Structure 1
Amino acid sequence: MLRWAEAAAYGAGGGLIVEAVVTYGRLHAWQQARHEARMADDQLPRVGKFVDPPADSLAAFFRVMLGAAAGWLLHAEITGVYAAVTVGASAPALLAQLGRATTATDALRGEPRGEEPSGFPAQVEPPGLDPVRGEATP
């Protein structure tokens, strides 16, 4: 089991790794667009069409903070560095699922409140009840 500060730091590192991969994807798209423009003798696209430093920096900051928060929240459950990095990398989805859970048991099982596994709200009505008045139907 990691101490809370270690789990938070490694969780932040996991968030940073994910953000680095996202940034690489944007830079790779820019590179491909430049290659295509060179082949077609068109004007080369600028990097600003693919990377927005203020917005991307803010998103990266929050991803790192979410990774740290997830590591801190789950530090008692995390048994190693790789697990902490994984928790940090998956923090946005993991914390959203924990927020939808009705009980701690549901959170550990991964059963979100009122949603199907697909992520769409459940459309379940109690059998034999009038949906408007909540009274039993004859």
Structure 2
Amino acid sequence: MTTHKGLGLDVYRPATGRDATLNGITSTHTRVTLIGTIDTRGRFTPSPKCARVGLPTEDSPAVALRARATSAHLLPVTPDGTPAADPIWFMFGGNYAAATDSRVRDYYRELGMEPIYGAIPVHDRWER
């Protein structure tokens, strides 16, 4: 199994402390590691070289950016980039991830998307 390096992001939760993720990864972790991108067909591509900074850990689990035509969100994945479950079943659980690092902007640019300066929604709620 290949473990991909990625960019560490901080998790942001509602100030009320309410968890709507149904025990998603952002309900228990304060950081995640962005290791790549999942396209609309579910194919994984590792992060651009500019964002291959550190390995995911138990304290900073792996996520991938799922880019769409007009938006993007993060999904839980294994360290080798395999989706943790069928990506179609994940939904927004109320939490976001972000970094003040300019490499997030560069990451978006390398994907051909408009660079962002804000937090990315995390789709880690999964109703089984």
TM category (shorter chain) comes to under 0.3
More helix by share: 1
Larger radius of gyration: 1
Please give the TM-score of this superposition, normalised by the length of structure 2: 0.26
Please give the TM-score of this superposition, normalised by the length of structure 1: 0.25
More strand by share: 2
